Structure formats: structure tokens, C-alpha cells
Structure 1
């Protein structure tokens, strides 16, 4: 499957690479917005470890309430990817219909590495480097912010979806990067606390 690259600019002047995968066009970078489309400020949007050097690589981390705010945190003509948007992406890259609706770690044949900007070999496993970032999605291990704490940078990335699961939890997607983690080739679908701060990807409307 061929992918097509492009760019989009938000109302703050941030320019993002975009990629078309299957029938969808996605940001190929994590969101960096500090304002909604109407110019009002988001409440979260923290740079990992409060280090400006991390901004372009990892983007910003947002809680779920900013993610689903009706003022829209994405560039004009875009929206935060929903749980169903992620399922469409996962089907397009090769996750089976039997697995796509399940929770937990899903996907065979190291499918997750096709979305990662990098996936080094480890002492336990070698990866087909030709498949790394095959779809030009450029996922990076930004880690998360829980309260005042930044954790798991270079080990995990968590992407919010715009889909609520329960009063306190929403659906998210996880990619693992640590050398010791056996799920590096899979994508996790999980319900996680809305107060957590994760990365965000937008899809074109």
C-alpha cells in the first residue's frame, strides 16, 4: 500500500507533516498546539520533561478533556482521531478483523513497527528494519505525564482517542519501545484515566 505525504498548518503557525494511509489522512507528527481553533488556550499541552528540545520530536501531552473540547485542538479541517479512526488505521496496516475490536495487545508479525519512527534490534529480538516506519506515521516514545510526573519517555507512547469508555476512562492506543518489553510489535487498545496526559494525533475530516 502506497502512502502519500503532505503538510498542514494550524492557527499558531505550527506546520505538521501529514500522511495518507488507506482512506484516511493523519498527522505524521504528534500535536503541538497550545490553543484551540478559536484562539483560547488549552489547559494542558506539556512538553515532555518540560524540555523545549523535546517539542519537535515528541510534541505535547494533553489530558482527555482538552482532547475532546468542542473548540477543537486540531488544525482547521481536522479532528482528534477516535477509537474507530484507529481501528480503520489498524485494519489498513494489517491487523485482523478478529483482533481489531479487542482490548489489550493486538497484531501479529510485528505490525506496530510499521508505525514507529525507529525500532532498534535488541539482544532478544531482531526486527525487519525495512518494515520500520513503513507507513510514514513516525510514532515516537514521548512517554506520559501523570499529575506532576513525566514517566516512560523512550519506553512508551500513549495516544489519546476522542472516544470515551466510562465516566473516568477513555480509549487510548499504546506502543512499546523498551528492550525488555515483549509487545514491541503490537498495538494496545486500552481504557485509561482521562486525567492522564498523552500524545495526540489528528485525522482529516
Structure 2
């Protein structure tokens, strides 16, 4: 009878696991309570204390609890849900079920004050859900060497196919002629697992080639796809910078890609970033280098004209930093313009060019940093910065070719007040938007004070209306 009831208890645990979708924090337990003379303590009320010890009968107590006024039946049997009593010590969820666990039962009548130990025994059959819940993480030994694996998967021949080490993960694929459909390494879509679905791996690596497939559907969720990131970027406050990421629409590489064989594409390959374009001339005769970034063409230098494209003077809505007249400084950093200058219908940019709109900023940042550039904003910012025009910390790489320069800003008073030279860049956009970039690489699109004077970068094309 006792064995049958215990099996029913395990079935109940399994049902709870299926219905709740989580590890149950209790399990059923039965015991027979007897008097000192060996007769069963039938139809009485007792208090029970349960102690779970690890390693041995006298081992440390990892969890204990009490149950009050538990009735015995005619055979002296009590039924408990261990984990559901009044906790004295320990946490049920942290019980190390993977180790030997012993249960000690203490009993007293409800009219008595002192517990008596009535038995202790090892729990030989631990509900699997409880065991699995306690071993959900694989943790390395603290004294493990760098080359000691934390976790290894081997094939039937004893060869390692997947290994997790202290500082990285390595996947081994068959390097002789591949046999079978499952050779190599692949990242596929969840939707292709259904019976009859067409299998189309997003990323596939085997000895003869590495293949990446793309489509236009955008992946859902921050954790979608497959990614390789750095150990130092796992904290909540850290920058989430994946070195390599595969989603349904794209594959992203934040580091240099090397190939020892040919690169072949059935679609178009466009670098776009940092490609020199035709220089442009403003109405004052200033020549600006330009750069193609994706599908856009940008000025590679800050605007420095003193006249609108139709010849009207911009004064008093422009200035040079610290009112300098140094030709080289103005050429390198440009002039600063208030919002009234960039909204004038006369157009502060050369003919055929315009002040960036919010969609223009978005296109630039998505191309340089990917659709999730805000997660990796520092990486994106560093790709926009010209290393020669920033003070410390200077980690600029200008991978985009945008060549952002820290020209600072000016604030109105009885005369202009200047700040941020060498440490910040601010570029006006339409509708009061400002692309802000700091010396650490932080980049954001926000709004600016209309009276302040910021830099201007023009983008090729007619653009949206100025206001």
C-alpha cells in the first residue's frame, strides 16, 4: 500500500510539472506513526518536523520544516507535502538533489512540547523534476585550468563535436568528405522543423564552404537568432556587443572578416561604407570631400559656409568656435549654426544637398550599426568618429568613413559661449533633431535648443521640407 501511494505521489508531481510548466517546489511523502510499544498511532493528531540532510544521516541539514496537527488514519499513516510546511531553515529550491539526501522525521503529539526522532533514511527515488531543477546550470570547478572543458559532447566514436571551455566554445565538424544530411554546423529556423517544411539553413559551415542565406523578414526578439559575444559583456549594465550574429534577415560581423578562399554571392555585394564620392562646392567656394555610406552620400566634413545656397548671408545665426578666424581650424571643424539657420527656406546646404531628416539619421545609423544599433551604440559611435579630431578617451576607428569631428557647441548670451571642443559633436537635423556624439563613442538622436549653435553635415538629395 505504501509503495502504491508513493508512486501516485510521483505521478502527481509529474502532472504538476506538465500543467504549471515549472519545477514543483514540493513532493508527497507518507510515513506510519507508531507508539512506543510498536502499535500504530491510529486516528490521532500529531506535529511533525522534517529535516533533510545531505551526504549522510548525520550530515548538514539543508532544509527543515514543521507540520502542525497532522491527522493519522486508522493505520497510523500520515500524508505530507514536503516543501509545503512551515520553514525552519533552508530554501527548498536550492536543495542539492544531485547529492545523497537523507530524510529525518521527528514527531510529537499536539499536547507535547518535545519532538522525538522516529526514523531517518536515505531518499533513494528523487522526483526527476526536482533533480533537473537543481542541476539547470553547469558550473566549472574553481581550480580548473584554462584548457579544461566545462562541458563536452562526443559522438559515437568518442570524438568531441562540441566543447565549452573557460573562455570560449568550439565546434568540430567532419573534415573528411561529409556523409549524411546532418554533417557540418548549421543554424536553421524553428519553422523548418515541421514535417514537410523545406529545410533552409540560415548559416551552414562544412569543409568545402560557409554559406549564409538571407531574406527580408525581420527577426523577433532581442535573443532571436544565433550570436557569439564577449564574456565581459554579460552584465545588465554592460554593452551588448556581439562579435557575430545570425538572424533571419542578416548576418552581422563587428570584427574584420578574413577568407582564405573565394567569397561567392548569388546576390549583390556592396560595401558602401567609406567609399569616396564626388566632392561638392558651396556658394562660398569651399570644397567638401564626400563619402558614400550605404545608399546615402554624405559630406565628409562639417559645413563652413557663411551664406545660404542662394547667396543671402547667414549672420547672425552662425559662428566659428571661440570666434576664431584661423582658416585651418575652420576647415577642420567647420562653423556652428543655430536652428534658425538650418530651418531657413534658403537652404544652408549647397544646391542638391539638404540638412538630414530623422529618416536620414536612421538610415545612416542602421547601416553603420545594424537594425539594433542602439544596443551597440558605442560601437556605432566609434565607427562614425575621425580619430584625428577627438581628445581622450579616443578609440575612434571611423569604419564608416563619416569622419565625425568634435567641434563642440555654442550657447547664446550677450555673446556666444563655447564648450565641448574636442569632446563632443552635435549635428543639426530637421524638425529640431540633433545627432549627438561624445568622445567615448556614445551616440544618440535627440532634440536641441533652437538658440544653440551646432555643426551641420549635409546629405545629398532634395530631402524633406525644412520645417
TM-score tier by shorter-chain length is: 0.7 to 0.9
Determine the structure 1 residue equivalent to 2:433. Answer: 171
TM-score by length of 2: 0.37
Determine the structure 2 residue equivalent to 1:23. Answer: 295
**DSSP 3-state at the match of 2:337:** coil
Q: Distance in 1 between matches of 2:345 and 2:313?
A: 13
Q: Distance in 2 between matches of 1:107 and 1:77?
A: 33
Q: Distance in 2 between matches of 1:57 and 1:198?
A: 15
Residue 108 of structure 1: CA displacement? 3.9
Q: Distance in 2 between matches of 1:11 and 1:98?
A: 36
User: Equivalences for 1:58-137 in 2 at 5 Å?
Assistant: 58-97=333-372, 99=374, 107-108=376-377, 110-118=379-387, 122=393, 127=395, 132-137=397-402
Larger radius of gyration between Structure 1 and Structure 2:
2
Count residues in correspondence. 181
Q: Distance in 2 between matches of 1:108 and 1:173?
A: 12
Instruction: Kindly provide the CA deviation profile for residues 154-178 of structure 1, in whole angstroms up to 9, marking residues without a partner as x.
Output: 111111101x2xxxxx11011111x
Report whether the alignment pairs 1:4 with 2:268: no
Q: Taking structure 1 as reference, are residues 40 and 30 closer, same or farther at Cα in structure 2, changes over 3 Å only?
A: same
CA root-mean-square deviation: 1.9
Structure 2 unaligned residues grouped into runs of 5+: 1-270, 462-467
Q: Distance in 2 between matches of 1:55 and 1:204?
A: 22
TM-score by length of 1: 0.82
Q: Distance in 2 between matches of 1:133 and 1:17?
A: 15
**DSSP 3-state at the match of 2:344:** coil
Structure 1 unaligned residues grouped into runs of 5+: 100-105, 165-169, 178-183
User: Equivalences for 1:194-205 in 2 at 5 Å?
Assistant: 194-205=450-461
Residue 45 of structure 1: CA displacement? 2.1
| Higher relative contact order, structure no. (Cα contacts within 8 Å, ≥ 6 residues apart) | 1
Residue 133 of structure 1: CA displacement? 1.1
Asked whether the 8 Å contact 2:355–2:457 carries over to 1, the reply is: yes
Instruction: Kindly provide the CA deviation profile for residues 55-75 of structure 1, in whole angstroms up to 9, marking residues without a partner as x.
Output: 011100001111021111111
Determine the structure 1 residue equivalent to 2:153. Answer: none
Q: Distance in 2 between matches of 1:121 and 1:98?
A: 23
